[in-house]
């Protein structure tokens, strides 16, 4: 007799709780060994190469070389972040304020995994969950499930090696379905949801505490002070990485008029191809059907995009990315939205103020809360953007998709899940990392009183307005 979805998930959760109860007794050294062992399942170059190949074969998204790089870089960077973190027992003491903080698990974590990153995202979540002594259940996309299954087989080998319970890491049974995923959301203790906004909303309405992320639609300003050659090289590197599977890849650039032609020349120099108006219309007709992005252009090489759109200009398919010019934003200008394809939308702005206004329009249409980039040598402009634009990150003079999710040369934590704050409908504005997988118990002792009087608080106000 086959199990109902409720029973199937309940069985997984019961096994996870049993394993987590054992794991709860591990000390920090033992936990860190489990984390290191688990990470080796992907850092091992042979495993990484095979998993990257499987991911591209099964999902049809991205490319093997960049997935190998992403799997390695994201995992190694996260390990750097986790290496010195305390998550077991006393994690901080503040004797002056009489406060002791103790790290505690959240329990069983349920994770929604997008098809765009069927290996890097599960590993990122697994390591964060294990670092805080949790068990984890993954809900991969149907296309990504075979890759995830193979990853877990390799993880189990490493868990066996260090004597940790296998049931700390599980995934939903084949075939994954919406019903199973929704059932998981209602039975676990804690949710991390990355991917479609439908999945994020389902997590928020499940009744279980959830960290979800908002939609990306990265716009990058290039102002008149920018190093144009450096900006073009970084935009190309970010835009083309893994065929633009990242929500942090540039979707639009807004170029100030004074350097517009020169910047286009630099983008052409790094093998970007600007389409004419007829070609743009052909591409638009091919990329969107009834408002939905055509999966045959999603994270595909430029040659494939050209074939789908019937673009046959000589040499166009040999370009590294395509560019289209745009003036409008919103549903009637679909190139102003997130594309997850090797197509970059180019806007021309009369000056920096106009560029900022256009970037704001783009964010208002899609991507509010996520991030904004700028290439500039004006030190004040990035801070001004941070003070006025509805984003949680302003990325300065960097390849956006590498920088937003944490990098070895910036201070953001390594993550594949970027919170978008209230602007993006999220509970967090941070890169989701281990602290979102941990409860903290605070032991509070008395300290010398710090009482205030009415005069301390209201004295100046009374003298200014009431005397």
* DSSP 3-state of 168: helix
Q: What percent of the chain has pLDDT over 70?
A: 100
Q: What percent of the chain has pLDDT over 90?
A: 91
What is the torsion angle, in degrees rounded to the nearest 10, for the CA atoms of residue 308, residue 314, residue 315 and residue 320? -30
Cis ω before 175 (30° cut-off from 0): yes
Q: Please name each of the domains of the chain with its CATH number.
A: 5-213+432-443 (3.40.605.10), 218-407 (3.40.309.10)
Beta bridge partners of 94: 99
> What is the pairing mode between strands 394-396 and 438-444?
unpaired
Per-residue pLDDT averaged across 361-368, rounded? 96
Question: Residues 412, 405: contact at Cβ < 8 Å?
Answer: yes
Q: Long-range contacts made by residues 295-301, C-beta under 8 angstroms, separation at least 24?
A: 297/341, 297/343, 298/61, 298/340, 298/341, 299/60, 299/61, 299/62, 299/116, 299/242, 299/243, 299/244, 299/245, 299/340, 299/341, 300/60, 300/243, 300/341, 300/342, 301/63, 301/243, 301/342
What is the torsion angle, in degrees rounded to the nearest 10, for the CA atoms of residue 312, residue 314, residue 320 and residue 322? -50
CA distance 381 to 375: 10
Question: Residues 324, 280: contact at Cβ < 8 Å?
Answer: yes
Question: Residues 33, 93: contact at Cβ < 8 Å?
Answer: no
CA distance 422 to 262: 38
What's the pLDDT score for residue 205?
A: 87
Marked catalytic residue, from 132, 148, 247, 392: 247
CA distance 165 to 74: 25
Per-residue pLDDT averaged across 155-183, rounded? 95
What's the pLDDT score for residue 98?
A: 97
Per-residue pLDDT averaged across 280-299, rounded? 93
Q: What does the pLDDT look like over 238-266, one tens digit per residue?
A: 999 999 999 899 999 999 999 999 999 99
pTM attached to this predicted model: 0.94
CA distance 125 to 127: 5
Per-residue pLDDT averaged across 17-41, rounded? 98
Is 247 one of the catalytic residues? Answer: yes
What's the pLDDT score for residue 199?
A: 79
Nearest Cα residue to 137 out of 9, 47, 51, 7: 9
Per-residue pLDDT averaged across 401-427, rounded? 94
CA distance 358 to 49: 41
Q: Tell me the pLDDT band of 14, cut-offs 50, 70 and 90.
A: very high
Neighbour order of strands in the sheet with 210-212: 169-171, 135-139, 108-112, 190-193, 210-212
Please provide the DSSP assignment of 19-53 as one string. Answer: HHHHHTT--HHHHHHHHHHHHHHHHSHHHHHHHHH
Question: Residues 212, 247: contact at Cβ < 8 Å?
Answer: no
Nearest Cα residue to 190 out of 392, 442, 20, 404: 20
CA 366 to mean position of chain CA atoms: 16
CA 50 to mean position of chain CA atoms: 23
CA distance 337 to 250: 11
Rounded to the nearest 10 degrees, the angle between the axes of helix 120-131 and helix 64-83 is 10
What's the pLDDT score for residue 380?
A: 98
Q: What does the pLDDT look like over 87-137, one tens digit per residue?
A: 999 999 999 999 999 999 999 999 998 888 899 999 999 999 999 999 999
Per-residue pLDDT averaged across 164-172, rounded? 98
Q: What does the pLDDT look like over 229-241, one tens digit per residue?
A: 999 999 999 999 9
* DSSP 3-state of 84: coil
Nearest Cα residue to 247 out of 219, 273, 211: 219
Confidence check: pLDDT of 1 > 70: no
Question: Residues 82, 131: contact at Cβ < 8 Å?
Answer: yes
What's the pLDDT score for residue 194?
A: 82
What's the pLDDT score for residue 196?
A: 75
Q: What does the pLDDT look like over 48-68, one tens digit per residue?
A: 999 999 999 999 999 999 999
* DSSP 3-state of 316: helix
What's the pLDDT score for residue 213?
A: 86
CA distance 372 to 367: 9
What's the pLDDT score for residue 17?
A: 98
CA 360-362-366 angle, 5° bins: 115
Picking from 1-10, 97-106, 318-327, which range would have the lowest pLDDT averaged per residue?
A: 1-10
CA distance 323 to 235: 12
Strands, E assignment, 326-461 = 343-349, 372-375, 394-396, 438-444
Per-residue pLDDT averaged across 408-432, rounded? 94
């Amino acid at each position: 007799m086959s199990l109902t979805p409720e029973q199937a998930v309940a069985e997984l959760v019961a096994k996870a709780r049993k394993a987590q109860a054992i794991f709860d007794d591990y000390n920090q050294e033992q936990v860190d060994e489990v984390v290191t062992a688990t990470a080796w399942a992907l850092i091992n170059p042979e495993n990484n190469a095979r998993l990257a190949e499987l991911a591209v074969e099964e999902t049809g998204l991205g490319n093997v070389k960049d997935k190998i790089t992403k799997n390695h870089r994201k995992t190694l960077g996260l390990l750097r972040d986790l290496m010195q973190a305390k998550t077991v027992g006393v994690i901080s003491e503040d004797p002056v304020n009489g406060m002791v903080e103790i790290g505690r698990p959240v329990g069983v974590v349920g994770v929604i995994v997008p098809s765009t990153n069927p290996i890097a995202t599960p590993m990122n979540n697994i390591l964060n969950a294990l670092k805080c002594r949790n068990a984890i259940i993954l809900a991969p996309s149907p296309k990504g499930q075979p890759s995830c299954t193979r990853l877990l087989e390799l993880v189990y080998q490493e868990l066996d090696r260090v004597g940790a319970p296998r049931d700390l890491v599980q995934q939903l049974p084949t075939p994954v379905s919406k019903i199973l995923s929704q059932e998981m959301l209602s039975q676990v203790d804690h949710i991390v949801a990355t991917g479609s906004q439908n999945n994020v909303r389902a997590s928020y309405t499940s009744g279980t505490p959830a960290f979800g992320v908002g939609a990306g639609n990265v716009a990058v300003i290039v102002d008149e002070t920018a190093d144009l050659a450096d900006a073009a090289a970084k935009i190309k590197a970010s835009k083309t990485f893994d065929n633009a599977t990242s929500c942090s890849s540039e979707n639009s650039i807004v170029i100030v008029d004074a350097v517009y032609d020169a910047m286009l020349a630099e983008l052409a120099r790094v093998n970007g191809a600007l389409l004419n108006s007829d070609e743009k219309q052909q591409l638009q007709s091919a990329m969107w059907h009834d408002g939905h992005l055509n999966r045959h252009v999603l994270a595909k090489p430029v040659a494939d995009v050209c074939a789908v759109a019937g673009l046959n200009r000589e040499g166009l398919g040999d370009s590294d990315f395509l560019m289209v010019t745009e003036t409008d934003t919103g549903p009637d200008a679909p190139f102003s939205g997130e594309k997850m394809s090797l197509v970059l939308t180019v806007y021309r702005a009369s000056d920096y103020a106009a560029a900022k206004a256009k970037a704001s329009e783009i964010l208002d249409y899609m991507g509010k809360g996520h991030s904004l980039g700028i290439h500039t040598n004006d030190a004040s402009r990035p801070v001004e953007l941070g003070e006025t634009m509805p984003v949680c990150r302003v990325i300065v003079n960097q390849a956006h998709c590498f920088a937003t999710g944490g990098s070895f040369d910036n201070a953001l934590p390594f993550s594949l899940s970027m919170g978008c704050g209230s602007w993006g409908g999220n509970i967090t504005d941070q890169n989701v990392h281990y602290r979102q997988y941990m409860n903290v118990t605070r032991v509070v002792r008395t300290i010398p009183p710090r009482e205030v009087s009415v005069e301390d608080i209201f004295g100046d106000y009374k003298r200014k307005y009431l005397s």
